[in-house]
Amino acid sequence: MQHIRDEVGKVVVGQDELRNQCVIALLCRGHVLLEGVPGIAKTLTVKTLSHMLGLGFQRVQCTSDLMPADIIGTNVLNMASGSFQLHPGPVFTDLLLVDEINRMPPRTQAALLECMEEYQVTIDGKGYPLSQFFTVFATQNPIEFEGTYPLPEAQLDRFLLKLRVPYPTAQDEIRLLANVQNGFDSRQLDKIQLVPIQPGLLEQAQQELKALVMEETLFSYVVQIVRRTRDWPSLSLGASPRAAVSLMLASKACAAMDGRDYVIPDDVKAAVQPVLRHRIILKPEADLEGLTPDQVLDDVVRAVELPK
C-alpha cells in the first residue's frame, strides 16, 4: 500500500488524504463520493490507481438525459443470427468514475444502486455479475446545483466514504507547474515510469484486512458513536447500522495503513468523518447557525468515552 501511495504521488501532486482514503476504500471494497471543484486531480487519481493496480477503468459523464441502459448496457438484436446479444455498459469494469453523479436523473441513479450494493446488473430479468474489484468513484461539484438531482439518503448510505477534496497548497501548485514545464502530461500516463504492483496483491491485502484483530471494547466504541448521532440535538437523521459496519471496516484499514494488525481508538476517530459525514442530516436551525456535519461529528466523538 505504501508503494501504491508513493507511485501515485509521482502523478498527483499533494492530495495525500485523497490518495490514502482511496486506497482505504479499495482495501474495504467500498465506494467513494468525491466532492470538490473541477481541476483538482479527482479523475487523475482514479486513473492512476487503475494503472498501478492493473485494473480496468471506465468513465461516465452524467447528464440529465442519461438513461439506465447507458450505464448498465442492453440487449441488442444481432441481425445475422436473429438473437439478442448483451451490449455491456461501462459498469462492466473494475474502477468506474461517475462524473457529477448528481446530474444523473433519479431513474438512472436507481439503476446504479443495484450495481453498488449487489455487485451485479439485471438486464431483461437476467442477472450479470460484476468484477470482484468493482468500485464506484463518484464526483460532485459543491458549488453548482442548477439542474441537479440530489442523491437520496438510501444511495448516499451505499458509499463507504465521502471525501472533501480541497485545493492544493501553494507549494504543491508550484511543484505542479514545474512538472508540467518539465514535460509532464496527465493524458499520457503510459509515458510516466510507474512501477505497478504484482497481480493478486490487492486481493491478498483485502483478505489480510478481514483477518485484522479488533477488540470487543472497540465494537462498543463504534456502536456508541453511531448511536449517539441518532439522538444528537442538532441532527434530524443519524447513522444507520450499515454505517457502523463501514466505520469498523474503515478503522481496520486505517490500522493496516499504519502498519499495525490491530485497531486502536485513534483509528476509529480517523475514520469517523469520511464514513459518517454523508450519512447524517443537520436540522434546519443547526444549518442556519453555520454548523457543518464535520463539526457535529467532532462533538459526538468528544461526548463518547474512550475505551480502556
**Structural domains of the chain sorted by starting position, each given as residue range(s) with its CATH number in brackets:** 2-202 (3.40.50.300), 212-303 (1.10.8.80)
The pLDDT, as a whole number, for residue 274 is: 96
Q: Is the pLDDT of residue 59 over 90?
A: yes
Quick one: pLDDT at residue 125?
84
Choose between 187 and 209: higher pLDDT.
209
Are the beta carbons of 129 and 86 closer than 8 angstroms? no
pTM of the model: 0.92
Give the three cell numbers for residue 35.
Answer: 466532492
Q: Are 57 and 50 in contact (CB under 8 A)?
A: yes
Which pLDDT score, from 0 to 100, does residue 273 have?
96
Alpha helices in 157-215 (DSSP H): 170-181, 201-210
Summarize the confidence of residues 68-88 as an average pLDDT: 86
Do residues 255 and 268 make contact, with C-beta atoms less than 8 angstroms apart?
A: no
Q: Are 152 and 281 in contact (CB under 8 A)?
A: no
Q: Please report which confidence band the pLDDT of residue 242 belongs to, taking 50, 70 and 90 as the band edges.
A: very high
- 39 grid coordinates: 481541476
